Structure 1
Amino acid sequence: MSTQPVALVTGANKGIGLETVRRLVEAGFRVHLGARDKQRGRAAADAVGAHFLELDVTSDASVRRAAELVEQADGHLDVLVNNAGITGPVRDPHDYTADDMSDVVQTNVVGYVRLIHAFLPLLDKSGDPRIVNVSSGLGSFALFHDPDRIESRAGTPLYAASKAAINMLTVRFARLLPHIRVNAADPGLTATDLSGDTGHSVHDGTDAIVAFALSAPGGPTGAFADRAGDLSW
């Protein structure tokens, strides 16, 4: 069993997930890099000194198997970073379908709950367990109603709704699991595939995620923040 702190980051073969893995490895964590694609996942893990974990957040069987492998390797989990997500289609509002919404929710919301459920027993074995849910300011009602914020003008309804759901899941789990610090991190507009390479660097986009992951015992729980600080819900 490893004596290092142990983290798992989902959707981590590129972009924000991969940068989060890299920074946690640099901080001294043993990191499981979760990804669906074996070839890309292994290459990414090798590049940053992490351990590849085949993981499809939409599959009960895949997530259960991943939890079994982490238990066998480490016996506990200190930090779970729920990052895997999709934007869904961008369409004329007349053309959005229930299937479009279902696809987004299955990955962005149900996937987070699936991971939390599967890994709670391992988090319970940590002396300082933390869950970081990667959310977005697009899920904030307050920011949507602020005309000076980009969140009032950008974002699809499907993706934004999924992130609003994640925000509520975060505060509810934080209250129901007082022994685990559960927080929501907004990367902001970050230059990745999902944003069409528009925005700040992935390093800047992971600042809030890493801050929550590395926060000392007694740190915040039930919080929502970006790299500049707390955000309005």
Structure 2
Amino acid sequence: MASKAIVLITGGNSGVGFGLASELLTRGTYHVLLGSRSSEKGRKAVEDLRARHQPHSEAVEMLQIDVTDDNSIEKAAETVQRNHGKVDVIINNAGISAMDLPLRQAMREAFDVNAAGPAAVVKAFAPLLQKSTMTSPPPRIINVSSGAGSISRCLDPTSPLYGMLGYQYRSTKAALNMVTACHWVEYGPKIKVFAFDPGFTISNLSSHNKAENGARSAEESAGSLVDVIEGKRDDEAGMFLHNTGRYPW
């Protein structure tokens, strides 16, 4: 029996990250490292997932990781090295909107989480990713981005996001897209790399991310992300994807 693919999900205790963990456990072919800044919230999320997925309850574990803290990231990588010796998929999902902060503080904090965090996580975990023995599909990095980070869409008067506020969120997701491009140049094509927008999803990202505002469930958004994990869109590696197509950078 083939060993399960090891998937690291940062920001896995809620929203898209939690929904993705649940979807992967349903399939029974993945071992999920549920990354959470808060150990308490991470443990509660793991308990919830284990209760929902009894046949695969041992296929998820909590990994304490604060993407703004290099020591926390290094410690997490050491834990994975010690317990698993490799990682097959990295999902950089942790993110913030920082909507209620003064602009300069919001920019700093959002860049730290949304752009510097994924860059630091991949740098620390790259040696483990390179130890992956997966070939079909091969190992991969998926940076969870947003269509709001597309500079082309920002400048397009016909785009539904034209004139959208939120400098700190839009600019940091644009920065994450550049991080993704750099990851592709550095690690591809052996390691597949994607920026992926899961769509408007119910989450604690902001007070607007609610069902009554049209947000999809985390599980629904996660389904499209699973397709990328399973290699169904590998011909689009190195690109900025969404559920049904691509966005311009």
Residue of structure 2 equivalent to 1:70:
80
Long gaps (5+) in structure 2:
51-59
How far apart are residue 211 of structure 1 and its match? 1.9
Q: Which of 216, 228, 231 does residue 215 from structure 1 map onto?
A: 231
Where in structure 2 are the equivalents of 1:1-233 lying within 5 Å?
Answer: 3-27=3-27, 28-49=29-50, 50-90=60-100, 96-97=103-104, 99-127=105-133, 128-178=138-188, 179-196=190-207, 197=210, 198=213, 199-215=215-231, 219-233=235-249
Higher mean Cα deviation, 79-88 or 204-213? Answer: 204-213
Q: Is the 8 A contact 1:207 1:226 kept in 2?
A: no
Please state how far the C-alpha of 1:204 moved relative to its aligned partner: 2.8
TM-score, normalised via structure 1 length: 0.91
Q: 2: distance between equivalents of 1:46 and 1:160? A: 34
3-state DSSP of counterpart to 2:94: coil
Higher relative contact order (CA 8 A, sep 6+): 2
Secondary structure of the residue that 1:200 maps to in structure 2?
coil
Cα deviations by residue, 1:127-147 (Å, 9 ceiling, x for unpaired): 321000000000002222334
- Alignment RMSD, CA only? 1.9
| TM-score normalized with structure 2 length | 0.85
Is the 1:190–1:201 Cα contact (8 Å) retained in structure 2?
yes
Post-superposition shift, 1:161? 0.3
Mark the CA change 1:224 to 1:208 in structure 2 (over 3 Å): closer, same or farther: farther
* CA shift digits 1:51-105 (9 cap, x unpaired): 00111111111111111111111111000000111101347xxx522x3211111
Instruction: Tell me by how many angstroms 1:172 deviates.
Output: 1.9
- State percent identity of aligned pairs: 33
SS in 2 for 1:86: coil
Deviates more, 1:142-151 or 1:119-128: 142-151
Shift of 1:217: 9.5
Q: Is the 8 A contact 2:22 2:219 kept in 1?
A: no
Q: What is residue 55 of structure 2 aligned with on the other side?
A: none
Provide structure 1 residue ranges, at least 5 long, that are not aligned to the other structure: none
State the 1:222 CA deviation.
Answer: 0.6
Code of the residue aligned with 1:190 in structure 2: it is T
Aligned to 1:151, the other structure's residue is in SS state coil
Q: Compare 210-219 and 195-204 and name the one that shifted more.
A: 210-219
The aligned amino acid for 1:118 is A
